[in-house]
């Protein structure tokens, strides 16, 4: 790599967010939280998330395993350290937020609070 390529790479990394805090509803199941925490999901978000404006809310599909319907989880950008542009090394941190009325009102039952013997992430944290 030449000096100019090294300088360009360093400048480009200065234009990327160092850390992004993404929130999810606190009633999200422990299973779904575990899916958010996987490295594959973080890699996916780094590739597709282009709006890092605090307050930006969107839904993402989260795997519910082999025996359930899909779950779209409402995620929200809470804060960004650095420029509002995701990079391959941007750290993604998750934080629970209070679930709003109807926010988790999908039709799914598997691994949810409404499902049999489910443990919510909120209950697990207490």
Considering the entire predicted model, what is its pTM?
0.72
We report the CATH number of the domain holding residue 67 as 3.10.330.10
CA distances from 100 to 13, 51, 69, 96 (A): 36, 22, 22, 12
Whether 9 is in a domain gets the answer no
Domain that holds residue 119: 15-125
Over residues 13-19, the mean pLDDT reads: 87
Whether 108 is in a domain gets the answer yes
Q: Determine the pLDDT at residue 94.
A: 98
pLDDT digits (tens, 9 = 90+) for 82-102: 999 999 999 999 999 999 887
Whether 78 is in a domain gets the answer yes
Q: Tell me how many domains the chain contains.
A: 1
pLDDT digits (tens, 9 = 90+) for 30-56: 888 888 999 999 999 999 999 999 999
Q: How far apart are CA 79 and CA 9, in angstroms?
A: 25
Residue 94 sits at φ, ψ, to 5 deg, of -105, 145
Whether 39 is in a domain gets the answer yes
Whether 113 is in a domain gets the answer yes
pLDDT digits (tens, 9 = 90+) for 60-73: 988 766 655 567 88
- Share the mean pLDDT of the chain: 79
CA distances from 95 to 3, 10, 20, 22, 51 (A): 40, 30, 11, 6, 18
Tokens found for residue 41: 């999901």
CA distances from 15 to 78, 83, 90, 108, 124 (A): 19, 6, 11, 40, 37
Q: Determine the pLDDT at residue 54.
A: 97
Whether 21 is in a domain gets the answer yes
Q: Determine the pLDDT at residue 103.
A: 77
Whether 6 is in a domain gets the answer no
Place of tokens 């750290």: 91
Check: CB of residue 58 under 8 Å from CB of residue 75: yes
76 pLDDT above the threshold of 60: yes
Whether 80 is in a domain gets the answer yes
């Amino acid at each position: 790599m030449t000096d100019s390529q090294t300088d360009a790479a360093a400048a480009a990394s200065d234009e990327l967010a160092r850390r992004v805090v993404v929130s999810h509803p606190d009633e999200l199941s422990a299973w779904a939280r575990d899916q958010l925490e996987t490295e594959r999901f973080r890699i996916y978000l780094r590739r597709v998330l282009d709006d890092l404006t605090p307050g930006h809310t969107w839904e993402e599909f989260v795997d519910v395993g082999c025996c359930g319907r899909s779950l779209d989880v409402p995620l929200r950008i809470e804060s960004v350290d650095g420029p509002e542009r995701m990079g391959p090394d941007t750290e993604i941190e998750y934080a629970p937020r209070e679930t709003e009325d109807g926010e988790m009102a999908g039709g799914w039952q598997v691994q949810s609070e409404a499902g049999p013997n489910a443990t919510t992430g909120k209950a697990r944290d207490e």
